[in-house]
Structure 1
Amino acid sequence: MHTYYYGFAVYSIQSYIFETNKLKEIIGASEIVEKVCKSKFQYHFKDFLQNATILLQAAGNIRCVFSISDAELDRFKEIYAKFSMYITLEYPELKFCQAILDLEEKSDPTAESIQKLNQALATKKQRPVYYPRLACMGVARNQRTRKIQSYPIESKLDKELDLATKIKHKHKDGKLLLDKLKNIHAEFPIELEEIASEQSFIALVHIDTNGLGNFIEKLIDNSDSKALQKFSNEVEAATINALETAIKETFPIVKDAICEKQKIPFRPVLIGGDDVTVIIKAEHAFDFTRVYMSTFEDHSKQIKETKGKGLTVASGIAFTKQKFPLHYTADLVEDLCKNAKTGSNREYSAIRVHRVRNTYASDFERIKDSELTPNDKDSFYNAKPFSIVELAQFQADALSIKKDDFPKADLEEHLSQIILDNPQRTFLKDRMLEKLPKSKAEFIKDMHKEELDLPYLYNLINLQKLVKA
């Protein structure tokens, strides 16, 4: 009997999914990533899964321990080699790699073997991607994308699509992804225009769990693959539960299963393990994110390994106009999520938010230097990201600003005077406070004594239009 530790990884997922702003193609690409990890893997290795333990199967990653008899060994190696070739031919432009590690008989993966497998996958990611179709010098290319042309050309649409994009269109129903949301009775859009109009704002939200690797390492050290599998399933269940709850709370029309399904301005793009990425109409983004994070924390407390403390999450929210290139937004929102992790030291659930105002934005460090630090003394950048409670308070404060009787122009003028370090800013602040009864603006209740926090003030003015009234 032979025991093998198998790994499969789709990489550059964000680039593959958000290659264009066409929502159908985004949905199709996401569906392909899900399909490769689930149904395609299970079909090709079906004869060997009975004696296998699947440790991870989500978000473009597979980790599995196979137990193979001597009689099946040659056939297993053949299936292993053919799976790679099949995926390459079936889904061109999808970047992936697979690796396998021989373990001691009937042993579970150790920290050392996991590191070796990850190193093998990382090495393969650096190798040039070979597509068998490229061997022919006379291959036809699409005039718009310069990628391999799709054949046969049966319609005008076929002529406009390259092969990789045509395959994405075939998966535009997004069935595998939506099947995870069994308790949501709603229709999901297939065009960005159904989420927000051309001149309106959309939000890309990316949410990731903090410190998951620490729990996994402990389970690996205990050499308990069954417990690791159970833990992974419970984390994914908490993710699905939080996602469904957040959708229901944000869009109340989906709660009633009896009513006819209505379309909501929301589309899940990635639901894998502890990762969630969604496109949503801007005004709903704060509510959705806050409810998701709170629900996930509560639900994860039921997981045995957390000892009742639960798991925390980090979130990045990027607001852009509907026409803004989503491949830039995808890079930015992942950057925001990482920044939320480091800014909170992974000690609490944190949210980092940014509204894109320029024509290019993907690196948050660059944005901080160029947009959020106007002079040497003050910064628009708040090193501490929002907690769940702080986000709720921020929403309430933003709603105060939106009221008709609020002297918003004076508040904006106050901000500009702080930036310019104008000596008159104290006078302007006092004049503003005279117009504003203290009871109507809790968030500036201490401004009589001291200046309002500059990053907070900047975010209030910059993002108040994106908070739902």
Structure 2
Amino acid sequence: MSRYLYGASVQGIQEFIFKTNQLQEIVGASKIVKSLEVEFENISSYQKGDKNILVNAAGNIKAIFDDKKEFEDVVKEFPKKIMQKAYGITISQAVVEINGDQPTKDELNLLEQRLKIQRNKPSIPLDPHINIMELAPKTARPLVKIEKKGDDEIRMDMSTKQKYKANADNKGQLADLLNGKKKLAVIHADGNGLGQLIPKLSNTNISEFSVNLDKATRDAYEEAKKIVQDNKIRKIILDGDDMTVICNANYALEFTKIFLKKFEELTEKYTNHKLTACAGIAYCNEKYPFHYAVSLAEALCSATKKHAKAINKDLAPSSLMFHNIQSSNFQSWDKFLEDELTIQNDQETIRCDFGPYYLSQNEQPLIVDFENTVKAYRQEGSPISRLREWMGELSKSKQYSENLLDRINEMIKTNNKWKCEIMDNNLKKINPKLCNQELVIDKDGYRKTPIYDVLQILSVTEAN
């Protein structure tokens, strides 16, 4: 008897959630996206935990059908349900006939190829407009509702109306998440190695693994959240091995470190497979367009994955990168590297992206050592203000910057409030080549310095 491997990929999730800077809409949109998982269970005969549901998380669905008519009904009805519930989201579907009880690696790859073809086909929105229609000013989609809030007036398209309805009881604003420096952070984390692991699992194991992976991710988030005040963090996406949150900038680095650690521990505990994850942190202010911040966080996550896979292609070690956004928009991480993180002086080119920083990895800078270095530079008597001057000189002249660094080190040797020996040890833990006298070293095929990263964290966070 033939069996059918069904796949669905929900598109436009990030744009749907982050097309606004209103926290109530962002959280409402994330609730709608989360509810889409239930829609699949409602329209099919399967419930959560069913062995025939291989994956149902983060807009990615894979299931096996024995009944041809049932999957045909799903293919017919599921996109309509999704698009009506979340205006602006579209869905791609594909089916592969399989011969055995479980899909082979080739059959899974074929399904992904067919889904990719479907994703490239344009979709027609459910809310098209003609010139005589009034449009919501923020989205340029047809206006469906005007709501008064005191002296303010909210003009909504269908998508905005759905988001407010889904999160009607939420009173929070992005301003509530800001620290004293008016900064917050968008954090995106993603698991490693699932593409290699899932094809090795049996049908029953894939279904059970998917449920347990989701539980591990959620529990890792809850464990990491304990260091953050409840009103200073908002989870936006928390499904499968994906996490996207917005939080107060003061907590972002430590929260992410704990999440990565707990993700490793809990995936091993719940799934019997120790998984790792990579993360990107984008620091910004509340006015910065969130779709750019999310794009940067994802790009940082991808960059650290690339670096980590070069260390271990089978299972990239857990690591993170971060960036404080100072420009007006985001084009690509490579563009940031070129425009903001590359220094060209009269003798050499220096890169300021010293990361990724790793949870635990030999011969790589560790998150905990970087945190300790930041804390040391935050102490009274630290030469950090002079190191800002040094960074300025570094972009002009190698000789002048070396002379200034010599003067800085002479100054700190006579400063009893700040122990230069301790800082030497901190720097050497990040990389054995680093010390107070050597702040630019060879790393990853470039000349690099970690001081820019230290300055970034000090500029966006406050002392605890």
TM above 0.5, one fold?
Answer: yes
Give the superposition deviation at 1:74. 4.2
Give the superposition deviation at 1:264. 2.2
Give the superposition deviation at 1:59. 0.4
CA gap of 1:154–1:274, structure 2 versus 1, over 3 A, is closer
**CA distance, structure 1, for counterparts of residue 336 and residue 129 of structure 2:** 42
**For residue 370 of structure 1, what is the amino acid of its counterpart?**
D
**For residue 161 of structure 2, what is the amino acid of its counterpart?**
K
CA gap of 1:211–1:383, structure 2 versus 1, over 3 A, is farther
Match runs of 1:365-380 below 5 Å: 365-375=334-344, 377-380=348-351
Question: Of residues 325, 336, 355 in structure 2, which corresponds to 1:356?
Answer: 325
Question: Of residues 101, 110, 124 in structure 1, which corresponds to 2:96?
Answer: 101
Greater alpha carbon shift after TM alignment, 109-118 vs 286-295: 109-118
Give the superposition deviation at 1:135. 8.6
State the match for 2:218 in structure 1. Answer: 240
Question: Of residues 145, 158, 183 in structure 1, which corresponds to 2:139?
Answer: 145
Give the superposition deviation at 1:468. 4.8
Greater alpha carbon shift after TM alignment, 339-348 vs 267-276: 339-348
Quick check: 1:329–1:362 contact (8 Å CA) kept in 2? no
Quick check: 1:343–1:383 contact (8 Å CA) kept in 2? no
The answer to whether structure 1 residue 229 and structure 2 residue 230 are counterparts is no
Give the superposition deviation at 1:11. 1.4
**For residue 358 of structure 2, what is the amino acid of its counterpart?**
S
The answer to whether structure 1 residue 80 and structure 2 residue 44 are counterparts is no
Secondary structure of the structure 2 residue equivalent to 1:351: strand
Quick check: 1:150–1:159 contact (8 Å CA) kept in 2? no
State the match for 1:287 in structure 2. Answer: 254
The answer to whether structure 1 residue 36 and structure 2 residue 36 are counterparts is yes
Question: Of residues 174, 196, 200 in structure 2, which corresponds to 1:192?
Answer: 174
CA gap of 1:75–1:451, structure 2 versus 1, over 3 A, is closer
CA gap of 1:202–1:51, structure 2 versus 1, over 3 A, is closer
Question: Of residues 451, 454, 457 in structure 2, which corresponds to 1:460?
Answer: 454
Question: Of residues 283, 287, 292 in structure 2, which corresponds to 1:319?
Answer: 283
Quick check: 1:158–1:166 contact (8 Å CA) kept in 2? no
The answer to whether structure 1 residue 382 and structure 2 residue 382 are counterparts is no
Equivalenced residue count is 431
CA root-mean-square deviation: 2.9
**CA distance, structure 2, for counterparts of residue 272 and residue 399 of structure 1:** 33
**CA distance, structure 2, for counterparts of residue 154 and residue 356 of structure 1:** 34
Question: Of residues 85, 98, 109 in structure 2, which corresponds to 1:90?
Answer: 85
Quick check: 1:11–1:60 contact (8 Å CA) kept in 2? yes
Quick check: 1:189–1:264 contact (8 Å CA) kept in 2? no
Quick check: 1:316–1:335 contact (8 Å CA) kept in 2? yes
Q: What are structure 1's unaligned runs of at least 5 residues?
A: 175-187, 254-262
**For residue 450 of structure 1, what is the amino acid of its counterpart?**
E
Give the superposition deviation at 1:88. 2.5
**CA distance, structure 1, for counterparts of residue 427 and residue 5 of structure 2:** 58
Greater alpha carbon shift after TM alignment, 386-395 vs 188-197: 188-197
CA gap of 1:425–1:93, structure 2 versus 1, over 3 A, is closer
CA gap of 1:406–1:218, structure 2 versus 1, over 3 A, is same
State the match for 1:4 in structure 2. Answer: 4
Give the superposition deviation at 1:134. 3.5
The answer to whether structure 1 residue 164 and structure 2 residue 159 are counterparts is yes
Give the superposition deviation at 1:444. 5.1
**CA distance, structure 2, for counterparts of residue 173 and residue 110 of structure 1:** 45
Question: Of residues 383, 386, 390 in structure 2, which corresponds to 1:414?
Answer: 390
**For residue 12 of structure 1, what is the amino acid of its counterpart?**
G
Q: Deviations over 1:203-228 (max 9, x none)?
A: 00001111111111222xxxx21111
**CA distance, structure 1, for counterparts of residue 277 and residue 35 of structure 2:** 26
CA gap of 1:299–1:198, structure 2 versus 1, over 3 A, is closer
Secondary structure of the structure 2 residue equivalent to 1:423: helix
Give the superposition deviation at 1:285. 0.3
The answer to whether structure 1 residue 208 and structure 2 residue 177 are counterparts is no
Give the superposition deviation at 1:270. 0.3
The answer to whether structure 1 residue 299 and structure 2 residue 271 are counterparts is no
**What percentage of aligned pairs have identical amino acids?**
26
